[in-house]
């Protein structure tokens, strides 16, 4: 039985490496979009909220509504709903690059909320002290808010990465490629237990690696 498993595994390895590469591509694009767009959006959500320096209720309601609307979609529905936009932007509706479009949009909304929540944990006295010393809003964001919340933000990004690793697997169900696509095509449709076991093992290894790295980095950045 072990010999059969090893033979099946050796035949699977070329496809597995491609699938892992596609999954990491989708995850990487989604996380970059989350940091570059979701991060500033989260900061803006915090600044325009009640009691903050840039308090603006209409802006807060509008931004909150947009973020909540995206977050309210189950990912598989968002994936299908954005097919026309994905085809326009990526030129195709299948493959890892196409799957990265809805994945990135969902990641932006989720990370924005995570950033907002972490910034709310920064002691208000620290922000008021920076205002009293004449710091500008940009300086407060860069040198106070992001510095004080950096460990929490790393953990938030870690949680996001793990969550969207499973989302990238879901994308494989509709032709997005990656580990999910490999599990469906070779494991489910062909009733190949080896494929299912290996893909689950790879996903577990990736989750453990992401969590370990994120936790260690957050611990190093935590100055408390």
**Cα 22 to Cα 12: distance, rounded to the nearest angstrom:** 15
Regions of the chain with pLDDT less than 70: 1-13, 172-176, 187-190, 192, 223-224
**Cα 145 to Cα 123: distance, rounded to the nearest angstrom:** 9
Q: What is the CATH number of the domain that holds 216?
A: 1.10.3720.10
| Structural domains counted in the chain | 1
**Cα 140 to Cα 148: distance, rounded to the nearest angstrom:** 10
CB 182 within 8 A of CB 203: no
> What is the pLDDT, as a whole number, of residue 41?
93
Length of the chain: 224
Q: What is the DSSP letter of 34?
A: I
**Cα 173 to Cα 169: distance, rounded to the nearest angstrom:** 7
> What is the pLDDT, as a whole number, of residue 12?
65
- Domain hosting 21: range is 2-221
> What is the pLDDT, as a whole number, of residue 127?
77
* Exposed/middle/buried for residue 47 (C-beta within 10 Å: 0-12, 13-18, 19+): buried
């Amino acid at each position: 039985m072990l010999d059969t498993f090893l033979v099946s595994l050796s035949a699977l390895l070329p496809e597995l490496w491609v699938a892992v590469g596609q999954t990491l591509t989708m995850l990487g694009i989604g996380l970059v979009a989350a940091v570059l767009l979701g991060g500033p959006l989260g900061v803006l959500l915090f600044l325009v909220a009640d009691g903050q320096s840039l308090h603006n209720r209409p802006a807060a309601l509008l931004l909150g509504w947009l973020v909540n609307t995206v977050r309210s979609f189950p990912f598989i529905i968002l994936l299908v709903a954005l097919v026309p936009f994905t085809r326009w932007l990526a030129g195709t509706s299948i493959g890892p690059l196409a799957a990265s479009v809805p994945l990135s949009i969902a990641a932006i909304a989720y990370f924005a909320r995570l950033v907002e929540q972490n910034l709310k944990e920064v002691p208000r006295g620290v922000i008021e002290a920076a205002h009293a010393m004449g710091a500008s809003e940009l300086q407060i964001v860069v040198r106070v808010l992001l510095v004080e919340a950096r460990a929490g933000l790393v953990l938030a990004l870690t949680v996001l990465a793990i969550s969207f690793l499973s989302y990238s697997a879901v994308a494989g169900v509709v032709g997005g490629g990656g580990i999910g696509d490999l599990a469906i095509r070779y494991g489910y449709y062909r009733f190949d237990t080896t494929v299912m076991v290996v893909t689950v093992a790879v996903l577990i290894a990736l989750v453990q690696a992401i969590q370990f790295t994120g936790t260690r980095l957050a611990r190093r950045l935590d100055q408390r």
